[in-house]
Structure 1
Amino acid sequence: MVKKTITAKDIILSPGSIPFVPPGIEVDGKTVFTSDQGVKLESLPDWVAIIGSGYIGLEFSDIYSALGCEITMIEALDQLMPGFDRDIAKLAERVLITPRDIETKVGIYAKKVIPGSPVVIELANFKTKEDVEVIEVDACLVATGRIPATKNLGLESVGVEVDRRNFIPVDDRMAVLSAGEVVPNLWAIGDANGKMMLAHAASAQGIIAVENIVGRERIVDYRSIPAAAFTHPEVSYVGLTETAAKELGQTEGFEIATSRSYFKGNSKALAENEADGIAKVIYRKDTGEVLGVHIFGLHASDLIHEASAAIANRQSVQSLAHLVHAHPTLSEVLDEAYKRAAI
């Protein structure tokens, strides 16, 4: 192996992430596979177990069920879609899971997964760890999130230690930290720093890092970065969930309120025959500042950017309620939610 030394004034680390495979699960890439391998299957299994009901599990269950697969979704926590706002998750479950050929097991984890034909999965209660049952399926997708690919980077040579989850510590400027102090000319972006494991967040961090390298001080406003699950219909959100907003309010001494509007009252959604959906706005009662927006419905991943801009500019529902939206468009769902909040 030929060694090569490259020198530079500044170095940006961007090693990305890899799928996380919990202990007890054996992956063979064919009958038991991760999301990286799940998009390259040579044939469709009749019955697929999906471990995890977050973004990855939800999107793959949407695709596989649409293609005719029977699904068993296994979620270790006590509710499906644990990372989503509860109002959104309830409606999404009713639309994306309940009417489809998807069986759900909640509060259950895969203690052991053995590849083969069939795939054997030993299930146990997540809280008590007691064995529950053994199921046999045609294939198993392990959708339990991703972990940073930070091994063997030589970080120790510059005195940098990854945290307990193997993320590279950085400040808001994307500068790498060692014992809380900035390591000169070393930056880390994307999944490897764990701030927000989204492709567009990584891109934004890269821009912020370069801005700081050239002397233009900038930081990332994570609250205004949107996220989306590309199901049919889509799920999207930006900012805080209602639970997180309440916790912030208790800490900083303010009350929150919420406003909702529904796609079934939107003429464009009705014309598209896609009337399942909701938009939820979370805001401060005192100032009206928007803290979070959550959407489930047709083109939710596109609609969320108006809310993202509003949060980035710390706008209030009172000011947003006076914006004019074209009619008939799906954007009127947000317009209606802002107006209801401002009443």
Structure 2
Amino acid sequence: MPGFDPEISKLAQRVLVNPRKIDYHTGVFATKITPAKDGRPVVIELTDAKTKEVKDTLEVDAALIATGRAPFTEGLGLENINVLTQRGFIPVDERMRVIDADGNLVPHLYCIGDANGKMMLAHAASAQGISVVEQVSGRDHVLNHLSVPAACFTHPEISMVGLTEPQARERAEKEGFEISIAKTSFKANTKALAENEGEGLAKLIYRPDNGEILGVHIIGMHAADLIHEASNAIALGTSIQDIMFAVHAHPTLSEVLDELFKSAKLKGSHDRRSLSEPVAV
């Protein structure tokens, strides 16, 4: 899970891998696989990712190859319009308009989905397509890719939207602002406990100075469904000051995010009345 928040990845390993009798190898490539034949097992040669030297050899009953997706852009005639792919991907701008080798936009040509390499997810491709249709219909629309959620359908599920903590810290250092972290546990959620699914964590990365939501990461029951509240908040530019007063039904898993946003600590004029402050009724 290299694209997910490191803290969530570590928790996923503890919950999904460590309790099970699974041998796993990291930091290596399966550089050679010899298929099973005449009663002999499948042989997998593992090469160290850094030294490029053969590190180990595995003998197994079967091998599942899941190396991800690659762009299928050869043979499209891109060279005829002065478009050069980058590692096989077609360069586009934020509106999915194709960019040629000289940095100019190719008139009336758009590229959506895996072929542009921006975010290789089916729902991202659909959103990019909608953005293009809006533009050719005369209505400008730019898709905020940081608002597009991603999910792993493990048990429990894992989901994320926006920046990871390292990415947020890098951006904060570059742009000169602070970030804060808030967390809530599924162990405090009544619905999760009723379902005997108390293992889980939600993590919020945000700016305490203006309440901007930078990223939300969830591991737990129905995490892939829960992430959309955060996704929509980022897409609409909703601040923590506003979303923390949203009302969630009880008892529901949505209260995990309700507690997450309410636990954020804001600074200065952006810090509205403390939620613990008594209110006259």
Tell me the TM-score normalised to structure 2 length: 0.90
1:216 CA drift (Å)? 1.2
> Residue 105 of structure 1 aligns to a residue in which SS?
coil
Q: Which amino acid aligns with 1:327?
A: H
| Counterpart among 95, 117, 129 of residue 206 in structure 1 | 129
Q: Report which stretch shifted further, 194-203 or 146-155.
A: 146-155
In the TM superposition, what is the alpha-carbon distance from 1:254 to its structure 2 partner? 0.2
Is 1:230 aligned to residue 150 of structure 2? no
Partner of 1:110, secondary structure, is strand
One-letter code of the match for 1:120?
V
- Which of these residues, 91, 99, 103, is aligned with residue 169 of structure 1? 91
Give the Cα separation in 1 of the matches to 2:65 and 2:3. 17
Deviations 1:290-314 (A, max 9, x none): 1000000100011000001111122
Secondary structure of 1:305's aligned partner: helix
The equivalent of 2:114 in structure 1 is: 191
Q: Quote the offset at 1:113 in angstroms.
A: 1.3
Counting matched residue pairs gives 262
Aligned partner of residue 322 in structure 1, secondary structure: coil
User: Which residue identity is paired with 2:66?
Assistant: A
TM-superposed CA distance for 1:183, in Å, is 0.8
Check the 8 A contact 1:226/1:237 in 2, yes or no: yes
Per the alignment, residue 95 of structure 1 pairs with 15
Aligned pairs (5 A) from 1:180-329: 180-329=103-252
Report Cα offsets for 1:36-62 as digits up to 9, x if no partner: xxxxxxxxxxxxxxxxxxxxxxxxxxx
Between Structure 1 and Structure 2, the one with more strand by share is 1
Determine helix, strand or coil for the equivalent of 2:88.
coil
- Code of the aligned partner of 1:227: A
8 Å contact kept, 1:226–1:304:
yes
Unpaired runs of at least 5, structure 1: 1-80
Distance 1:196 1:90 in 2: 23
Q: Which SS does the other structure have where 2:248 is aligned?
A: coil
Q: Secondary structure at the match of 1:260?
A: strand
Look up the match of 1:110. Answer: 30
Q: Which position in structure 2 is the counterpart of 1:71?
A: none
1:173-196 CA distances to partner (integer Å, 9 max, x unpaired)?
Answer: 111111211111111100000011
Q: With structure 1 as the length reference, what TM-score do the two structures score?
A: 0.74
- In the alignment, the residues of structure 2 paired with residue 314 and residue 214 of structure 1 have an alpha-carbon distance, to the nearest angstrom, of 25
Find the aligned partners of 2:214 and 2:29 in 1 and give their Cα distance: 33
Provide the C-alpha distance between the structure 2 equivalents of 1:161 and 1:131, rounded to a whole number of angstroms: 35
Q: Secondary structure at the match of 1:140?
A: coil
- Say which SS state the counterpart of residue 217 (structure 1) adopts: coil
Distance in 1 separating the partners of 2:3 and 2:118: 15
Determine what percentage of the aligned residue pairs are the same residue: 60
Q: Superposition RMSD on alpha carbons, in Å?
A: 1.2
The CA distance in 1 between the partners of 2:109 and 2:213, in whole Å, is: 35
CA distance in 2 between partners of 1:249 and 1:222 (Å): 19
Deviation at 1:142, TM superposition (A): 2.2
Q: Kindly provide the amino acid, as one letter, of the partner of residue 136 in structure 2.
A: I
The structural deviation recorded for 1:108 is 2.1
Question: 2:53 & 2:146 partners in 1: Cα distance?
Answer: 39
Higher relative contact order (CA 8 A, sep 6+): 1
Q: Give the letter aligned to residue 104 of structure 1.
A: Y
Give the AA of the match of 2:81.
Answer: V
Q: 2:133, 2:158 → 1: CA distance?
A: 31
